[in-house]
Structure 1
Amino acid sequence: MGNAKSGAVSKELLQDLKLSTKFSEAEITQWYDNFTKQCPSGRITPTEFEAIYARFFPESDAKSYAQHVFRSFDTNEDGTLDFREYVVALHMTSSGKITLKLEWAFSLFDVDGNGYLSKSEVCEICAAIFKLIPKEEVPDLPSDENTAEKRADKLWGFFHKDDRERVAEGEFIDGIMANADAMRLIQYEPSKAK
């Protein structure tokens, strides 16, 4: 028999996603329909993901940031995102729970996936985030945040570590939650229309 209705999300996947994300069956089904229309292969490639990010940040260089976000979402490390990874990523990044978002942010910053952040990883992600900022907005940034390097140094300072030490996930979450500036430095939100 197999999958008699290939156009519909399987009952097993639907139940799994309802439990792991708390999204409704209707939401998951709608996202599945949209996902299969946009990605008939059932998978998003890194190039397709970069194109999606480029549409969100048309005046910026979103490629390196998109690559890091893709890596953090590709939990089975097969080089593509399937529907399950896509929905779990949606949940992690859009859920109202700040700790869930920070757990995802930690995985984004943990470039080598070893469970710790190094200063060089913070520098790498801050550089990618900085590329999202349109050039015309850079002069308006505070003087201690107007380069990727300064932003990385400022962020690293919130963890009270020297350049050779590492930051564990709990330390990362605590350090970010303890300081509004740190929260702002780990993301870029386009300014509202002027």
Structure 2
Amino acid sequence: MGNSKSGAVSKEILEDLKLNTKFTEMEIVQWYENFKRQCPTGRISKEEFQSIYSKFFPESDANTYAQHVFRSFDTNEDGTLDFKEYIIALHMTSTGKTTSKLEWAFSLFDVDKNGYITKSEVKEICTAIFKLIPKDEQADLPDDENTAEKRADKLWQFFEKGENDRVAEGEFIKGVMDNDGALRLIQYEPGR
């Protein structure tokens, strides 16, 4: 097999992404062309990802959160995102169904990747999310969520667990789906 189409996305990856995302073939090809222009090596490093991600939150400190997002999408743990990991990430965070987004959110909160979330992991991610919120918006938050610690405590209460308990993926998804407040606490959307 020759490599005459080195500038194009492989048929195998294209078919896989069409099956596993809601993107059309044309969209995937366009994403690939942009990806190759911005990342000629075909991979995004954690630092490049942080730089791109920080542009979405110009008035915030997005580095810590970007590191966690990167970790959750670097499925083969090689320290970079390839095109397929990048498109899956894009799909999960933008067009995925709520359950798919919550599966991703679970992997984000599961810092040590042991299949469970502890209160300390919740606190770590809530701290990273809190850094995304501009200072002027922080002042307008309710008293029970105006610090990262209070947000983590409030989120942990939705799971009805003790300080040293842990939450499995199914419990996490159910806990967040059953509580609008929990869904709001696990994300930050600028301009809301």
Query: How big is the alpha-carbon RMSD for the aligned residues of Structure 1 and Structure 2?
Result: 0.9
SS in 2 for 1:107: helix
- Output aligned runs, 1:134-153, within 5 Å: 134-153=134-153
The residue identity in structure 1 corresponding to 2:27 is E
Structure 1 ranges of 4+ moved more than 6 A: none
TM-superposed deviation, 1:96: 4.6
Pick which of 76-85 and 4-13 moved more: 4-13
- Matched with 1:123 is 123
TM-superposed deviation, 1:94: 1.5
- Matched with 1:59 is 59
Number of equivalenced pairs? 192
Q: CA separation in 2, counterparts of 1:124 and 1:96?
A: 25
Q: TM-score, normalised by structure 2?
A: 0.98
Q: CA separation in 1, counterparts of 2:172 and 2:7?
A: 41
- Matched with 2:90 is 90
- The answer to whether the Cα contact below 8 Å between 2:22 and 2:95 also exists between their aligned partners in 1 is no
TM-superposed deviation, 1:170: 0.5
SS in 2 for 1:101: helix
Pick which of 63-72 and 20-29 moved more: 20-29
The residue identity in structure 2 corresponding to 1:79 is G
SS in 2 for 1:187: coil
- Output aligned runs, 1:1-194, within 5 Å: 1-191=1-191
Q: CA separation in 2, counterparts of 1:59 and 1:22?
A: 31
TM-superposed deviation, 1:2: 3.3
Q: State percent identity of aligned pairs.
A: 74
Gaps of 5+ in 1: none
The residue identity in structure 1 corresponding to 2:7 is G
